[in-house]
Amino acid sequence: MLIIHTALHGEARALINHFSLKRQHDMNAFACFRADNIFLIESGIGKTNTASAIGWACGMLNVSSPVMLNIGMAGHTACSIGECYIANRIEDHATQHRYYPPQLVDTPLGSDCLLTLDRPTENYPEKCMVDMEASAFMQAAIRFTTIELCQSIKVISDNTLKPAGRMKDSEVESLLAPHTEAVTGLASDLGQYRAELMDNTGATFSQLTQQWHFTKYQQQQLARLLQRHQALQPDEELIDTIPAWIDSGKAFMRWLDGHLNNLPVRL
Amino acid sequence: MFSTIYVEEAVCDHPRTRKILQHFRGRTVIECRHYGELLNLKAQNFRLQKKQPALILAEKQGKKILPAPAGYHIGARHNYYFSHMLNCIYDCRYCFLQGMYQSACSVLFVNYEDFIHHIRQQALSHHDEAVHFFSGYDGDSLALEPLSLFAETFINDLRNISNIWLELRTKSTQVRSLLALEPWPQCIVAFSFTPEDISKALEHGVPAIQQRLNAIDKLQQRGWPIGLRLDPLIDIEDFEQQYRGLLQQLFSVINIDNIHSISFGAFRMPENFYNRMTGLYPKERLFAFNMERHDGIVSYGESREQDMRNTMREMLLEYVRPSILFPCVA
Ligand code: SF4
């Protein structure tokens, strides 16, 4: 699952077109768009809007370790309008708290530091981008996923020669549109990392918990037993090997534990 | 080796930082306030970070040396360890670092002179008694030597203190700087080994046994004392056969007269570390076999450990004298 956050509708528009996302009319708290495993939420400008949107989306979607991207505009003292960067350090100007999203993916995009401000500015700090959302995005996002899967991508929309001003949606969209391919590549690589973290014993777990009763604690034990089984007997279809005499969850766990403990230790 | 380099603001202008950064021209260098900002974040994944590890150049503050864990020694009464590095470029699946740190970033402390000062002070406080200082507890001692020059610097600065013994623990083959130095009889270059099959299955990125043996051969010919660390012993179906094969391989190259010490101890782990490692690698076979949990430690169990140590000791005694054997029970 990929969750994309934008502040402005112009930013969203470039991605809605690129990913063929459909407006979710039953969701009123924020403007949301979706296609298969991609969910886009448009929060409005600023940290509070961003944190609320991320919390709301992640709570509602309830997926484990999603890939999360904050995509938007940023200012910079010297970079040219239209250049696109991944933030390698995000600092909240008000709290001075910093996040360092690990740069694990090879991407054609450059990387730069990013400072998140509470208000727009024309006094650009030296050597970093400025925006109004990224620190709140990171703070909220890492409650729901691991920081490697959270990234902030910024297109330079203003600089000392062309200070920030009101931009039309179409202008924002055209700044972001040339970079949507790079965004897709990044999202896809992060998606592969995410897949490595996923547990694929879920179907067997569901089957067993429907068949027998397991307490919450037993469910944790069962999940670990299934992982052990998968590690040691990856080719064995567990459900087919359960002896007929097993009549409860507890008996099943005792049997599987014994079965695994008796296997010869081969790495 | 490292795609991203972080540098603490306090050591940006440190001469060692500048020298190390010369190895990484063109890489992204990001300033941070303190390495803990990166290392201590909860919501991060050691396993994912191992794919593209980052390096942090930092300053070690506070205590530089600590007493070695009880039961860990190679013949001296006074034993300390120090960590000029946190984390490792290798990726051994049994390594406790995976359980100890949230992040896989390697931290290199560049203020070597502070470590050296504390080591000297500690040695002096024990007057003429031998004091052993172990390096390589929180990362491989030599793996980064070409860029860190750690061993070269420490050896040159410590070799004139008569009661200091230094152990450099490693699985690497980066011995060029040692070969260029005059051998120091009180510096033990201690290589860790597991049998070939185990190494291939669990020691990701580690040089092959034969490559390490080639490095040992060069060192012993120069006159450096060699240590062997058969630690951790991993329990497998054909344990005795596997380890017998390893010993044959090792002693076909290593001259026993050059061996300072051999230590060996079974795989065991604090339970909280073990749980975290299992969470990172739920499909890892090493963690899928039955282990005992007792007093917060996960192990093969007292009696199996004892068997493994006894078997190892007997096999080793076919090659070496008992006085250089140090079973590790810590
Ligand atoms: S070489 Fe040592 S420190 Fe490095 S990963 Fe392996 S066990 Fe850990």
Reported as a single tens digit per residue, the pLDDT across A21-73 is 999 999 999 999 999 999 999 999 999 999 999 999 999 999 999 999 999 99
Q: How far is the CA of A249 from the centre of ligand 1 (A)?
A: 40
* A188 to chain B, closest Cα gap in Å: 15
Domain positions in chain B: 60-83+112-327
**Ligand 1 touching residue B139 (CB < 6 A):** yes
- Range A136-144 average pLDDT: 98
What global pTM score does this model have? 0.95
pLDDT over threshold 80, residue B329: no
Q: How far is the CA of B91 from the centre of ligand 1 (A)?
A: 6
- Range B290-318 average pLDDT: 96
Among chain B residues, CA nearest to A144: B43
Among chain B residues, CA nearest to A193: B48
- Range A82-103 average pLDDT: 98
Contact call for B28 and A143, based on CB within 8 A = no
- Range A117-127 average pLDDT: 89
Pocket-testing residue among B97, B134, B142, ligand 1, by greatest number of atoms within 8 A of Cβ: B97
Q: Does A231 touch chain B (CB under 8 A)?
A: yes
Contact call for A104 and B33, based on CB within 8 A = no
- Range A251-259 average pLDDT: 97
**Ligand 1 touching residue B169 (CB < 6 A):** no
Among chain B residues, CA nearest to A230: B283
Q: How far is the CA of B239 from the centre of ligand 1 (A)?
A: 21
Q: Which residue has the tokens 């080591």?
A: B119
Q: Does domain B60-83+112-327 have CATH number 2.30.42.10?
A: no
Domain positions in chain A: 2-192, 202-261
Task: Band the pLDDT of B330: cuts 50, 70, 90.
Answer: low
CA distance A183 to A68: 12
Pocket-testing residue among B46, B171, B280, ligand 1, by greatest number of atoms within 8 A of Cβ: B171
* A113 and A101 Cβ atoms separated by less than 8 Å: no
Task: Band the pLDDT of B26: cuts 50, 70, 90.
Answer: confident
Compare CB distances from A147 to B43, B285, B286 and report the shortest one's residue: B43
- pLDDT in the model for residue B181: 98
- pLDDT in the model for residue A163: 86
Helix (H, G, I), strand (E, B) or coil at A73: strand
pLDDT, tens digit (0-9, with 9 covering 90-100), for A171-212 = 999 999 999 999 999 999 999 999 999 988 889 999 999 999
- pLDDT in the model for residue B1: 85
- Range B146-156 average pLDDT: 98
Contact call for A113 and B237, based on CB within 8 A = no
Secondary structure in 3-state letters for B41-86: CCCCCHHHHCCCCEEEEECCCCCCEEECCCCCCCCCCEEEEECCEE
Percent of chain B with pLDDT over 70: 100
* A15 to chain B, closest Cα gap in Å: 27
Q: Does B315 touch chain A (CB under 8 A)?
A: no
**Ligand 1 touching residue B95 (CB < 6 A):** yes
pLDDT over threshold 90, residue B221: yes
Q: Does B44 touch chain A (CB under 8 A)?
A: yes
Residues 6+ apart with CB under 8 A from B46: B98, B101, B102, B103, B104, B280
* B114 and B64 Cβ atoms separated by less than 8 Å: yes
Q: Does B119 touch chain A (CB under 8 A)?
A: no
Q: What is the mean pLDDT of chain A?
A: 95
Q: Does A233 touch chain B (CB under 8 A)?
A: no
- Range B136-153 average pLDDT: 96
Give how far the C-alpha of residue A252 lies from the chain's centroid of Cα atoms, to the nearest Å: 36
Atom of ligand 1 nearest to the CA of B96: 8
- pLDDT in the model for residue B246: 98
Q: Is the preceding peptide bond at B232 cis, omega within 30 degrees of 0?
A: yes
Percent of chain B with pLDDT over 90: 95
- pLDDT in the model for residue A202: 87
Pocket-testing residue among B90, B263, B286, ligand 1, by greatest number of atoms within 8 A of Cβ: B90
**Ligand 1 touching residue B171 (CB < 6 A):** yes
Contact call for B235 and A142, based on CB within 8 A = no
Contact call for B44 and A263, based on CB within 8 A = no
* B201 to chain A, closest Cα gap in Å: 6
CA distance B308 to A196: 35
- Range B119-135 average pLDDT: 96
Q: Does domain A2-192 have CATH number 1.10.3470.10?
A: no
Residues 6+ apart with CB under 8 A from A39: A1, A2, A3, A4, A32, A33, A57, A61
Q: Which residue has the tokens 């070496």?
A: B320
pLDDT, tens digit (0-9, with 9 covering 90-100), for B85-106 = 999 999 999 999 999 999 999 9
* B80 and B131 Cβ atoms separated by less than 8 Å: yes
- pLDDT in the model for residue A127: 84
- Chain B residues touching A228 at Cβ < 8 A: 287-288
